[in-house]
Chain A
Amino acid sequence: MKYQITVAWLYPDLMNTYGDRGNIICIKKRCEWRDITCKIKELNTDFDKRELENCDILFMGGAQDRQQQIVTKDIKGEKSNIIKEMIINGTPGLFICGAYQFLGNYYKESDGAIIDCLKILDLYTESPKESNNRLIGDIAIKSYFLKDKPYTLIGFENHGGRTYLGKNLKPLGKVVSGYGNNGEDSTEGIIYKNIIGTYSHGPVLPKNPKLADFLIEASLKIKYKNIKLKEINDILETKAREAIANRLDLEL
């Protein structure tokens, strides 16, 4: 039997800064190299909410402010409720930067204005008073998404907002180098059920193939139960990871 999954790519026209598309390319290729069919469904403004049915992975990238406002208008209400239900039922997903902030309760701008978010996860984001005070640079975090052993996630962060997690939420990992969620508490990102939220661009998946495989495997497990992914030759991925680790003076 040939396995098949469908990725819902939310608002690619609007939410796609910083090469976030690399994550979609990575999921698709790592499926195809294993002879798994991978369909990408591009869901732009005014998409029919029924399109979300039969989607096995959710993905949303970062955006500019103006574009995020357009998305907010479109996603609020029924679409947002469906996505919330999918997340609670274990559908895996990846939400980068602006999309990650979007999952929380609200975003407070530097002038104090509050922008309502989707309220799917108990977290919030604040923009500092000095608008040019962005957190920019390579980032490495120690993450436990694999459960049995830690894995170092490597990426590049560039965000103004500072995100704070509610008490019952687990971060994606602990910052080893860089800033992470807010530059204060050494946490970075969020992992909830099979959803990952992160500030990591880079893009995050090609440089962290185990995270890509985690999402693929989680989606296949829901659909086909017992699944074990075939290994892929990741020598080049490892070299790219090592090059950054060396710059940051870290061991992988």
Chain B
Amino acid sequence: MINLFLIYFGKFTLFISRSFNLGHGSTWPGHIALSVNKKFINQTLKKSRAKIVFIAGTNGKTTTTKLIQTVLEKNGKKVFVNNSGANLLNGMSSSIIEYSSLSGKIKCDYFIFEIDENTLPLSISEITPDYLIVLNLFRDQLDRYGEVDTIAKNWKKSIEKLPENSVVFLNADDPKIAYIGKNIKSKKLFFGIDDKSLGQKDLQYASDSLYCPNCDKKLDYETVFYSHLGIWRCNNCRFKRPPLSDNDASYYPMQGIYNRYNTLACVIFSRTIGIDETNTNNALKKYSPAFGRQEKITINNKNVQLFLSKNPTSFNESLRTIKELNAKNILIVLNNRIPDGLDVSWIWDIDVEKYVDVFNKIFVSGDRCYDMGLRIKYSMKSLNDNSKVRIFENLKDAVEKAVENTNENEILFILPTYSAMLEIRKILTGRKIL
């Protein structure tokens, strides 16, 4: 009964804060409900048929979330998506209030949550997900998230607590993620890639999981798809890539090998909940990218495409993908604000050397444009090659010049960090410059 009252009261608060545009309205009612009844979320959900999906991983959370959301919605499901990480519980209970009818019934089929590295254990201890997707683990913002090994250990410990009726989808090609599946109670399904023609011979430089998570000996890779993801085995303890439940999709809506994994995660999830392949594919064909993730924007008849590049792995994969797309002009924007991480050392883990020759012009901007300028300078064969690099402290100037220097039949590829991506979208879609 108290919960029904909290729903009424919450809806009222939501209405008031929205009508008067008070801001932060979205998590207020949830906060109030939780402070009155700590068990509000678990109790209300137990009564409903709504399923909870958690999506974790260093790279690809937002894209995977949007892929799954698209498939669910195109198949008639009501979906709520939350990506406010730290605000998980308030966001969750607010969304329950918003999606509840006045009789206390939840009118939503799926709640999807993007969970960042540090909040996964806490989130699992508060809410039991029906489905958990674990995509990958790379070095990212070591100053904030800590070391990859520590994160992997914490993840495994908390995932071990999930009950038998939860389903965990694990990326088998990432050794640390595959290892999470060892001795867990919940149902586990592995996805990965089998097509060796997509692989490379060498490991990329910034690879993190070269050593066996089970016995610490060096792993042996038959094929590497990107970073440390591939077909691997340990010749010492015999731990190896687990058998895959899904290894291919009939349609991939986005470029890049990293997006294959995101699509595979979506496909294996959709199949598990009973959506057939044709319906999944039809939905995926209508997919449009999330903010900054291969998002295309047209400005003054010039084509621009944003490739969010926020850590060494995502940067390497952006470079590899745009090289395949025959990129000539690029703009790199490096910020080091809170969402980007304060430390920019990671740019030296990018394999710039492998790609720098194919670009005609490289524009550089952002709070740390000179650091990025140095990284590029030290990737050049001769000091003279540096003449194709132009550095702008002012981002608007950089965007303006880069767009100006792009022909109408070309694409300007922009590789920004997270906060830079938001700034650039504002500049491009606000059409304030030019």
Instruction: Give the complex CA separation of A215 and B218 in angstroms.
Output: 32
User: What B residues does A136 contact at CB under 8 A?
Assistant: 143, 342-343
Is A65 on the interface with B (CB-CB < 8 A)? Answer: yes
A240, B383: Cβ atoms closer than 8 Å: no
Is B347 on the interface with A (CB-CB < 8 A)? Answer: yes
Select from chain A the residue with minimum beta-carbon distance to B213: A66
Is B348 on the interface with A (CB-CB < 8 A)? Answer: yes
Contact with A along B91-108 (1 / 0, CB 8 A): 000000000000000000
A18, B345: Cβ atoms closer than 8 Å: yes
B374, A240: Cβ atoms closer than 8 Å: yes
A18, B142: Cβ atoms closer than 8 Å: yes
Is A64 on the interface with B (CB-CB < 8 A)? Answer: yes
Is B147 on the interface with A (CB-CB < 8 A)? Answer: yes
**Complex partner residue of B346 from A18, A25, A65, CB under 8 angstroms:** A18
Contact with B along A62-78 (1 / 0, CB 8 A): 00111100100000000
Instruction: Give the complex CA separation of A202 and B347 in angstroms.
Output: 9
Is A174 on the interface with B (CB-CB < 8 A)? Answer: no
For the complex formed, measure the closest distance between the CB of B314 and the CB atoms of chain A, giving whole angstroms.
15
Q: How many residues of chain A are within 8 Å of chain B by beta carbon?
A: 34
Of B7-15, B192-200, B365-373, the stretch lying at the interface with chain A is B365-373
Instruction: Give the complex CA separation of A21 and B349 in angstroms.
Output: 7
B216, A207: Cβ atoms closer than 8 Å: no
Select from chain A the residue with minimum beta-carbon distance to B349: A19
Instruction: Give the complex CA separation of A166 and B214 in angstroms.
Output: 39
Select from chain B the residue with minimum beta-carbon distance to A136: B143
B147, A237: Cβ atoms closer than 8 Å: no
Is A145 on the interface with B (CB-CB < 8 A)? Answer: no
B348, A25: Cβ atoms closer than 8 Å: yes
Q: Which residues of chain B (30-44) have a CB below 8 Å from chain A? A: none
Given contacts A236-B370, A236-B373, contact A156 B378 (CB under 8 A): no
Instruction: Give the complex CA separation of A207 and B378 in angstroms.
Output: 11
Instruction: Give the complex CA separation of A233 and B139 in angstroms.
Output: 33
Is A171 on the interface with B (CB-CB < 8 A)? Answer: no
User: What B residues does A236 contact at CB under 8 A?
Assistant: 370, 373-374, 377, 391
Instruction: Give the complex CA separation of A216 and B272 in angstroms.
Output: 59
Is A150 on the interface with B (CB-CB < 8 A)? Answer: no
**Complex partner residue of B345 from A29, A156, A232, CB under 8 angstroms:** A156
Q: Which residues of chain B (96-155) have a CB below 8 Å from chain A? A: 139, 142-143, 147-150
